[in-house]
Amino acid sequence: MTGTEARNLALAAVAFAVVACLPLAGSAYWLAIGVTIAMYTVLATSWALFSGPTHYISLATAAFFGVGSYTTAIGIEHLPYWTLPPIAGVLGAVLAALVGLATLRLSGVYFVIFTLGLAELVRQVIIWFQNVSGTKGLYVLTSITEAHIFWQLTGLAALVYLVGWAIWRSRLGFALRIIGDDEEVARHSGINTAGAKVLLFMVPGAVAAITGAILAPRYVYIEPATAFTPMLSFQVVIMALLGGTSRLWGPLVGVIPFTFLWEAISASFPNQTTLLLGICFLLIVYLLPKGFVGLLQAARKRVETREAWA
């Protein structure tokens, strides 16, 4: 580990410690915003770990998230709560591996459509099961508070950053950058491209499922329409792209402003949210194709060129 890396690690630890104090401030409004930001940070950062280097746009976040929510909703009757997020993580990773093996050999377009369909598929299976068994939604009644949820999500975020950092430094991370640049070269250099992609896709799968498991007590009542909402998948993509996927901290820079923007939109135009989400997506893709990270890198480059000429 180099000096800069040690310094960054220490800074990150301090930042996390400060963030973890938020519930102590005593404001229910800010804590609710904090939970939303922590949730999307975890989802968007883990999404970008896979989609950043490979350029495969995954719309499966809702599928994994819903599987996690249902893990808690079903499991809470039989198992202690603390076992449920890890179980959800394993289920999410297995589901991601299956999806990956089935689709990642195909080109990007098929992958996008398949992942979008996956959430719908899982949702329909659960609705069918509910119709057969005659049940409706499930209640998750626990003594878990908003502050507990926030701390769990903050801890999960720290874990995601550590995993992302470890992957970036590993052979797998190097392989993924090569795959992202030119898959043909990657194969001919001796990289098992399908294997690397499946392995990496399991990370956002597991993380989104854990997030769903952690958040289930917040929703109290779990039903397919809320647990598998496609809006979640799209929001994660938009936030990650707004921030930029070429750096580990990129998605965070997108999550924070977008959460406030979305808060304002849902309060002022509750009936037009889908339309406005679409417009946000178009604006980001056209105006900020590389996100805030790209903007920052371009600015830095301009300064460097100016210095070089001075």
**Footprint on this chain of another protein (rule: CB under 8 A):** 171, 174-175, 177-178, 180-182, 184-193
Alpha-carbon Rg for the chain, nearest whole angstrom, is 20
Query: What φ, ψ does residue 222 adopt, rounded to 5°?
Result: -105, 120
Considering only the C-alpha atoms of the chain, give the largest distance between any 2 of them, rounded to a whole number of Å: 75
Residue 154 or 193: which CB sits closer to another protein? Answer: 193
- Nearest CA to 48 out of 251, 219, 212 is that of 251
Minimal distance in Å, beta carbon 239 to another protein? Answer: 23
What is the four-CA torsion angle of 212, 218, 224, 226, rounded to 10 degrees? Answer: -100
Minimal distance in Å, beta carbon 188 to another protein? Answer: 5
Minimal distance in Å, beta carbon 302 to another protein? Answer: 16
Q: What does the angle CA 158 – CA 241 – CA 151 come to, to the nearest 5 degrees?
A: 25
Minimal distance in Å, beta carbon 9 to another protein? Answer: 19
Minimal distance in Å, beta carbon 107 to another protein? Answer: 16
Buried b (16+ CB within 10 A) or exposed e, 107-136: eeeebbebbbebbeebbeebeeeeeeeeee
Residue 7 or 171: which CB sits closer to another protein? Answer: 171
Residue 183 or 223: which CB sits closer to another protein? Answer: 183
Query: Residue 228 has what DSSP assignment?
Result: T
Structure tokens at 144: 């878990």
Rounded Cα distance, 230 and 227, in Å: 9
Minimal distance in Å, beta carbon 76 to another protein? Answer: 44
Residue 175 or 232: which CB sits closer to another protein? Answer: 175
Residue 77 or 184: which CB sits closer to another protein? Answer: 184
Residue 55 or 136: which CB sits closer to another protein? Answer: 55
Query: Residue 268 has what DSSP assignment?
Result: H
Minimal distance in Å, beta carbon 112 to another protein? Answer: 22
Amino acid at site 118: L
Residue 148 or 187: which CB sits closer to another protein? Answer: 187
Residue 42 makes CB contacts below 8 A (sequence gap 6+) with 153, 156, 157, 160, 207, 211
Minimal distance in Å, beta carbon 171 to another protein? Answer: 6
Residue 189 or 266: which CB sits closer to another protein? Answer: 189
Rounded Cα distance, 12 and 5, in Å: 10
Count CA within 13 A, CB hemisphere, residue 294.
14
C-beta of residue 177 within 8 angstroms of C-beta of residue 253: no
